[in-house]
Structure 1
Amino acid sequence: MKYLVTGSAGFIGSAVVEKLINLGHDVIGIDNLNDYYEINLKQARLSRIEHPKFRFVHLDIADRAEVDTLFSQEQFDRVIHLAAQAGVRYSLENPHAYAESNLLGHLNILEGCRHNKVKHLVYASSSSVYGLNGKVPFATSDSVDHPVSLYAATKKSNELMSHSYSHLYNIPTTGLRFFTVYGPWGRPDMAPFIFTKKILDGDIIDINNNGDMWRDFTYIDDIVEGVIRIADVIPTKTPEWTVEAGSPASSSAPYSVYNIGHGSPINLMDFIEAIEVELGIEAKKNFRGMQLGDVYQTYADTQDLFEVIGYKPQVDVTEGVKKFVAWYKGFYK
């Protein structure tokens, strides 16, 4: 099949592209290569997936005309939409970047799918949509009406926009609420990357909420496997579904939402210790309070996803951190 992967120079996007071409699919990847973090890393990810079945297009999903042209020319079978302005804290200072990429950009992708008979749109939501929810593990049946960052609000909006298009135009859409993804080629604004760099440089690492934080760290290979498998599970109409009795993660329309994570949260201090052990260096630590826009715990209930794709994450934190640190030391010499 022919796939479009948006955000193909990103951490998850580049890994998804690599898996798809290894499976024999034709893939076009798009990315605007913005400078939210180092462009050299994005270009390095792209350079390692040069392949006859892959073509990269430098394109911003907020550019309606360019997106429309790409869709009409290429006639994709499926779209895996991972492009977005990422980062919770960055959204506190640069809200308009999120409106352009995460709202307008998502609308442009939906319009492309609508007018070109795309058979399935899989898109990235986020665990951040759970916001003030204190019930764990987070389940897709829970309320997600109280986000604590604009980033989270845009991701909740993506789910709502997708449902409206599934309902109005019969477009099969699947949203994936990603839980803390890490591994080789990871993002420099994420904790594993920040901690590893600072420990190696002899700098002090800031530890929020005095270390009493829990994250459902999920290794990149497990995430990619889930994304690829769910692309084959195309939602269908369910006429008997009702708002009163049904889950908000499904619909009478061809619409689904799933959590995608490891399903076993790790204490932040244990994760830092795993990095320290792998580096052979004890971190210099600065314990501080909870930061604005942060949440105490993420913990995914992923049973419904496991049941439909027949796969559970295989990589534990010890193995995952070992692979990440080995990549980091090799890439940055």
Structure 2
Amino acid sequence: MPQYLANPQRYDAMGYRHCGRSGLKLPSVSLGLWHNFGGVDALETGRALLRTAFDHGITHFDLANNYGPPPGSAESTLGAVLRSDLAVYRDELVISTKAGYTMTQGPYGDWGSRKYLLSSLDQSLRRMGLDYVDIFYHHRPDPHTPLEESMAALAFAVTSGRALYVGLSNYPAPLMSQAAALLREMGTPCLIHQSRYNMLERTIEGELLPALQAQGMGCIAFSPLAQGVLTDRYLAGTIPPDSRAAGAVGFLRPEHLTAEKARLVGRLNRLALECDQTLAQFALRWVLRHPGMSSVLIGASRPSQVLDAVKALAAPAFTDAQLAEVDRLLMPPLRE
């Protein structure tokens, strides 16, 4: 197999944004390895996606200890591609992982105890063949563990050299602010929060985004395309047999694709076409319009989807009239 050489023009088209008030920049588009990188998937598919992403300036790869299936196998896939192709470019990569959901059986394989978080991070590093990750997240709050214990574990991940930065995910605004204050007291400021955000799910605009800005933290949006709803996959009003909705993958279920939602997505698609963009490109640009958004996390099953996302960055900024029209279409808020 020929040795992989990265595209020398890989940084020409990608924009990079500071993570809050930190010195770290993330690519406007990051690649998430939630789907299509598991042990049940072809390694060459994941390899092609990672190489295509890096060749077009996507330097951030996002994982979690339970990504697969089976859990942990997405990290193993990244580790294999690092060894075969990307190890020489390690200092150009931002690799993040998380712990907080079920990883193993028994009392030490879930939530947010110090034992679980640090042992999970050690396992993740072994699977990826890394000495450290760039960002280590607590994936969700743990109502059974003192917040101080979970945050102390994150801080120790940094002071012990296992991680360069720490982040939070799925934290409500008040708890996020408490956690950020604890981390700051421990000398490890919280870098970033990972949140669900898209045209159909705007909850974080109320409290969380302003709170993150007040804390000097960045925000990275997952599910910016609503697991494919904000693409051309479902515009015909039917569910393709190979789609996430048909397989009930992740959080998307057939019952979520209501007639009301289909009509709304159709109207958004017409607005995107008027802007000479695909619906997916339009939706990504809409998420990135927010000044507090450090990056947007995409999933992909084909390299062409990565390229389509990168092309979204070349579109002109939204006009006030276009944003007003989107708001008009989305009001009142769509309910599941």
Which TM-score applies when normalising by structure 1?
0.33
TM-score, length-normalised on structure 2?
Answer: 0.33
